Chains A and B, each alone.
Chain A
Amino acid sequence: MPRWGMVIDLDRCTGCQACSIACRTENNVPACGDRNAWKGRAIFWNKVVAVRMDGHGETAHGPHGAAAAHSRPRFRFLPMPCMHCERPPCTMVCPVRATTKNVEGIVMQVPSRCIGCRLCQAACPYSRRYFNWQEVSFPGDLGQALNPDVALRTLGVIEKCTFCIHRFQKVREQARAEDREIREGEYVTACVQACPARARTFGDLDNPSHAVAKLAQSPRAFRLLHELGTGPQVVYLHEGSWQDDSGLPVRDLLSKEKEDHG
């Protein structure tokens, strides 16, 4: 059985957010409006976090504001899909089995079963789960461009990245019909497909012939917050193990940055 995973090369990422847009379009992620966005209610199954590495404040929205304030800002972009952890805390705490880890290693969400208690949100150390705080809306022409393969979620439930499971289902049926294994590159997520810098690679982490399995063994590879023991199936690549000139590991940098921002 494959164990789907992703490798994201941070040295290649330009922070263009094409992955975020592709994800929103592919998965019918609703808009929330300005007011709700300021309240932290915007939904991004795939979010590109801009991390300022010189310890002078944060710009999760992008570097422009802080760049004006500081002369030589240094940013790194951290694209964040769901980590599809090997030992996901969210599935442990979900009281209604609305989120489960399937046999292919994908952490699934069943919105029609979710009661909206937000325990999974609280349990996820990566904050990769989103609650529908407001009615689902697709302003303008967005409503005309919905993906028929993905069901809309209702008010009051949690939603999250599913590694574009609907694509996997199509590919799996095709492979079954032709009585063969799923080939490498046949099933890829929308964010992988859209990345212009080819920073993302997707495939079976257990299949040594897949590029993703080789990259995950790279000396440049690291897993975010691996010390928590969740075992993320999204692996990041970065030269020097994501260390700044200060020599601090990423988590300390992130904390320091967050604290400065206040």
Chain B
Amino acid sequence: MADRDAFTYFRPLIHTSWGSLALLALSAAGAAWYFFGAFYLQFFHGHQLTGQGTHGAMWGSMVANIVQLIGVSHVGIAISATVRILKLRRYQQLARVAELVTLVSLTAAVCNIAGDVGRPDRFLTNVIKNGNYTGPFVWSASVITNYLVGSCVYLYLAMRRDIYLCSCVLPRRRWLYRILSLGYTDTPEERENHERTVWWCAVIILPIMVSVHSVYGWVFGLNSGRPGWFNPFQAPYFVLGAIVTGFSGVIVITALVRRVYKWEEFFPNRMFKGLGIFLGFVTLLYLYFLFSEVLTGVYTAPEAERGVLHDLLFGRFATIAWAATVGGMVVPFFILFVQGANPRICSMRVVVAAALPIFIAMWCWRYLITVPSFFHSHVPYRLAEYAPTLFDWSLVVATYSFGVFFYLSLVKLLPVLEIPEKFKPACPARPPRITLGERRRWGALKRVSIGATLATGAGLIAAGIASRHRVEIPAPAIWISGIVCLWTIPLQACLLPGFPSAGRVRAHMARMEPGLLRAPRPAATAVGLTECAASPATIEYWIDEQFGASRGIRRRPEIRGIG
């Protein structure tokens, strides 16, 4: 039945099991602990609650966590953009899951940064107001803002049609989805316009994604006084590490989503096999990078550099380093290699069994990049040993708890899967009645508006860069405003009615395509989807069949009696 097929896509929005509610409550408690611990306790009692110290490790587990989360955020949009640019149909449904991972992990990373600094109350205002253009932290603020805003715009535009379809199938929340879809009516012209804009967004976002993690490489790699960090190799090393981390993270999360919502048809084993092959490849590449770094560090490196590497290979960090490398990279690589090479093996579980240790190993390597350097200071202070305290670990766990809470909330609020074009609402919303003359005026206005935004954005960025030396001018605020301004262009391109080309007008008029010249149907009140305008099936029947009351699944009141 058409509706049954269609409603499979909206499963998390329709059903909430007791298990989901329990997980939501548990993760909300974890998130609350994070904000209480990181912002209240640390703000009023200081970072003495952590294991860090000036003559010891001044950065610790939280910084490792930040780098890890930034890495995870990397790959979400990368997967989505690659799928869109290369038109990889098999991975199409992975895109949204991955985009949401980006949004969640980037938010969690920013929360971690705010919690790790000594004065979170001044964190954003001072960086924007008094930003020093030579500071990698300011670069980081600029690229993260760019990436976050760009990701949100990209995610929204890619999801707008599905949000509109939600407004057709979920009457209780129709008001919300109507607001969120901002007047989308799913005309062929709109679809084409969105596809084109989102494609360009994907093209632009890919290099931005590389910039984000490169900056984190430079946060470490530009410090000439830190053995083990000062390395021109850091930026590409971090980008590759982010790809490994992100792919392993996305594989694990996608497997969980598939398991929980029974979406085997959208995330088939073949897809995991492909992801596993790629993860195996980048893991091998990471091992190669690692070997290259170690060889350089132990061969004829300066004393302090050699000390760091010696500590990693044979000293106090050797246990973690070897366990992470062998157990978390070499062994998983062989698992992934075997599953990739053997056509008889096509299993999600095998890929997840390799991806999970890789994810943990990457966290360990983030830790091993951050901490050992502090024990090889150029001046021989008596150094305090560092081990993350219970408080440190609780914050790390609570960060992931916050991530689970945020992700689950998004999954319960937004459509996770892309609804294929063959599904159309049985009673679509009426497009606004605009005459051709009005449309032309709107089109002209749109062009002027986009041009003005482009000029303003570019001007603000240029003005910010030009005034970077002047202390009294908040230069980062100016160029960040410019970046945000530029990101409104794709929104304008999709939200404002366009200026139809002469050819398109003729084509539409010839086909008498509704939506361009006049409203085709009366105002939508009904709900339900149908495949190629076939008559909708009763949703209640479908719900009963799929999720019987015997399984303890609550049925939302809004779907009763729809048919």
Set of chain B residues within 8 Å of A80, measured between Cβ atoms: 379
**A2 interface residue per 8 A CB criterion:** no
Set of chain B residues within 8 Å of A51, measured between Cβ atoms: 380
**In the complex where A115-B123, A116-B117, A132-B118 touch, is A254 in contact with B379 (Cβ < 8 A)?**
yes
Set of chain B residues within 8 Å of A255, measured between Cβ atoms: 303-304, 307, 378, 380
Set of chain B residues within 8 Å of A261, measured between Cβ atoms: 380, 382
Asked whether B381 lies within 8 Å of A115 as measured between CB atoms, the reply is: no
Given contacts A113-B122, A156-B118, 14 further A-B contacts (CB under 8 A): A39-B384, A47-B381, A95-B135, A96-B135, A97-B471, A115-B126, A118-B117, A123-B226, A125-B379, A127-B379, A134-B45, A134-B46, A157-B119, A251-B303
**B383 interface residue per 8 A CB criterion:** yes
Among candidates A49, A59, A93, A230, residue contacting B222 with C-beta atoms closer than 8 Å: A93
Asked whether A122 lies within 8 Å of B226 as measured between CB atoms, the reply is: yes
Set of chain A residues within 8 Å of B119, measured between Cβ atoms: 114-116, 154, 156-157
Set of chain B residues within 8 Å of A118, measured between Cβ atoms: 58-59, 117-118
Asked whether B384 lies within 8 Å of A40 as measured between CB atoms, the reply is: yes
Asked whether A122 lies within 8 Å of B59 as measured between CB atoms, the reply is: yes
Can you list 24 contacts pairing A with B, beta carbon distance less than 8 Å?
Answer: A39-B53, A93-B136, A93-B222, A94-B135, A95-B138, A97-B131, A113-B126, A115-B119, A119-B135, A121-B58, A122-B58, A122-B226, A127-B55, A129-B54, A131-B58, A132-B46, A132-B118, A133-B47, A157-B118, A228-B378, A251-B378, A254-B378, A255-B303, A255-B307
CA–CA, A54 and B53, complex, Å: 28
**In the complex where A134-B46, A251-B303 touch, is A124 in contact with B117 (Cβ < 8 A)?**
no
CA–CA, A254 and B225, complex, Å: 15
User: Quick one: CB contact mask for A200-214 with B, threshold 8 Å, 1 for yes?
Assistant: 000000000000000
Interface residues of B in 120-134 (CB under 8 A from A): 120, 122-123, 126-127, 130-132, 134
CA–CA, A36 and B56, complex, Å: 11
Among candidates A39, A78, A91, A95, residue contacting B51 with C-beta atoms closer than 8 Å: A39
Asked whether B379 lies within 8 Å of A96 as measured between CB atoms, the reply is: no
Asked whether A96 lies within 8 Å of B46 as measured between CB atoms, the reply is: no
With CB as the reference atom, state the residue of chain A lying closest to B141: A95
Set of chain B residues within 8 Å of A97, measured between Cβ atoms: 130-132, 471
CA–CA, A254 and B381, complex, Å: 10
Asked whether B54 lies within 8 Å of A131 as measured between CB atoms, the reply is: yes
CA–CA, A131 and B56, complex, Å: 12
Set of chain B residues within 8 Å of A113, measured between Cβ atoms: 122, 126, 130
User: Quick one: CB contact mask for A245-262 with B, threshold 8 Å, 1 for yes?
Assistant: 000000110111111010
User: Quick one: CB contact mask for A204-240 with B, threshold 8 Å, 1 for yes?
Assistant: 0000000000000000000011001110000000000
Q: What is the minimal beta-carbon distance from A100 to any residue of chain B, in angstroms?
A: 9
**B43 interface residue per 8 A CB criterion:** yes
Q: What is the minimal beta-carbon distance from A24 to any residue of chain B, in angstroms?
A: 15
Asked whether B137 lies within 8 Å of A119 as measured between CB atoms, the reply is: yes
Interface residues of A in 118-152 (CB under 8 A from B): 118-119, 121-127, 129-135
Set of chain A residues within 8 Å of B132, measured between Cβ atoms: 91, 94-97
Most chain A beta-carbon contacts within 10 A, residue among B42, B137, B378, B380? B380
Asked whether A135 lies within 8 Å of B118 as measured between CB atoms, the reply is: no
Interface residues of B in 98-151 (CB under 8 A from A): 116-120, 122-123, 126-127, 130-132, 134-138, 141
Asked whether A96 lies within 8 Å of B126 as measured between CB atoms, the reply is: yes
Set of chain B residues within 8 Å of A96, measured between Cβ atoms: 122, 126-127, 130-132, 135
CA–CA, A132 and B56, complex, Å: 14
Asked whether B382 lies within 8 Å of A60 as measured between CB atoms, the reply is: yes
User: Quick one: CB contact mask for B199-236 with A, threshold 8 Å, 1 for yes?
Assistant: 00000000000000000000100111110000000000
**B48 interface residue per 8 A CB criterion:** yes
Among candidates A92, A95, A134, A254, residue contacting B380 with C-beta atoms closer than 8 Å: A254
Set of chain A residues within 8 Å of B181, measured between Cβ atoms: none
Asked whether B126 lies within 8 Å of A127 as measured between CB atoms, the reply is: no
**A16 interface residue per 8 A CB criterion:** no
A residues adjacent to B (C-beta < 8 A): 36, 38-43, 47, 49, 51, 58-61, 78, 80, 89, 91-98, 113-119, 121-127, 129-135, 154-158, 224-225, 228-230, 251-252, 254-259, 261
B interface majority secondary structure: loop
CA–CA, A59 and B380, complex, Å: 9
CA–CA, A114 and B130, complex, Å: 10
Most chain A beta-carbon contacts within 10 A, residue among B51, B54, B222, B225? B54
CA–CA, A229 and B383, complex, Å: 25
Asked whether B380 lies within 8 Å of A60 as measured between CB atoms, the reply is: yes
Among candidates B44, B52, B223, B381, residue contacting A133 with C-beta atoms closer than 8 Å: B52
Q: What is the minimal beta-carbon distance from B15 to any residue of chain A, in angstroms?
A: 44
Set of chain B residues within 8 Å of A36, measured between Cβ atoms: 48, 53
**B377 interface residue per 8 A CB criterion:** yes
CA–CA, A45 and B382, complex, Å: 16
CA–CA, A225 and B302, complex, Å: 13
**B446 interface residue per 8 A CB criterion:** no
**In the complex where A115-B118, A261-B380 touch, is A41 in contact with B48 (Cβ < 8 A)?**
yes
**B424 interface residue per 8 A CB criterion:** no
CA–CA, A93 and B80, complex, Å: 34
**B74 interface residue per 8 A CB criterion:** no
**B96 interface residue per 8 A CB criterion:** no
CA–CA, A41 and B120, complex, Å: 20
CA–CA, A236 and B79, complex, Å: 56
Set of chain A residues within 8 Å of B307, measured between Cβ atoms: 255, 258-259
**In the complex where A115-B123, A119-B135 touch, is A39 in contact with B303 (Cβ < 8 A)?**
no
Set of chain B residues within 8 Å of A43, measured between Cβ atoms: 54
CA–CA, A113 and B22, complex, Å: 43
Set of chain A residues within 8 Å of B377, measured between Cβ atoms: 127, 258
Asked whether B127 lies within 8 Å of A95 as measured between CB atoms, the reply is: yes
Set of chain B residues within 8 Å of A258, measured between Cβ atoms: 307, 376-377, 380
Q: What is the minimal beta-carbon distance from B519 to any residue of chain A, in angstroms?
A: 54
CA–CA, A157 and B123, complex, Å: 12
CA–CA, A231 and B383, complex, Å: 25
CA–CA, A38 and B59, complex, Å: 17
Most chain B beta-carbon contacts within 10 A, residue among A40, A129, A229? A40
Among candidates B118, B123, B130, residue contacting A155 with C-beta atoms closer than 8 Å: B118
CA–CA, A131 and B43, complex, Å: 14
Asked whether B45 lies within 8 Å of A58 as measured between CB atoms, the reply is: no
Among candidates A42, A61, A92, A225, residue contacting B135 with C-beta atoms closer than 8 Å: A92
Q: What is the minimal beta-carbon distance from A58 to any residue of chain B, in angstroms?
A: 5
CA–CA, A60 and B55, complex, Å: 11
Closest 9 pairs between A and B when the two form their complex, measured CB to CB: A116-B118, A125-B225, A156-B118, A40-B53, A40-B384, A95-B137, A40-B56, A40-B55, A60-B382
Asked whether B223 lies within 8 Å of A93 as measured between CB atoms, the reply is: yes
CA–CA, A255 and B135, complex, Å: 29
Asked whether B381 lies within 8 Å of A127 as measured between CB atoms, the reply is: yes
Among candidates B53, B127, B224, residue contacting A115 with C-beta atoms closer than 8 Å: B127
Set of chain A residues within 8 Å of B42, measured between Cβ atoms: 156
Asked whether B138 lies within 8 Å of A156 as measured between CB atoms, the reply is: no
CA–CA, A224 and B134, complex, Å: 25
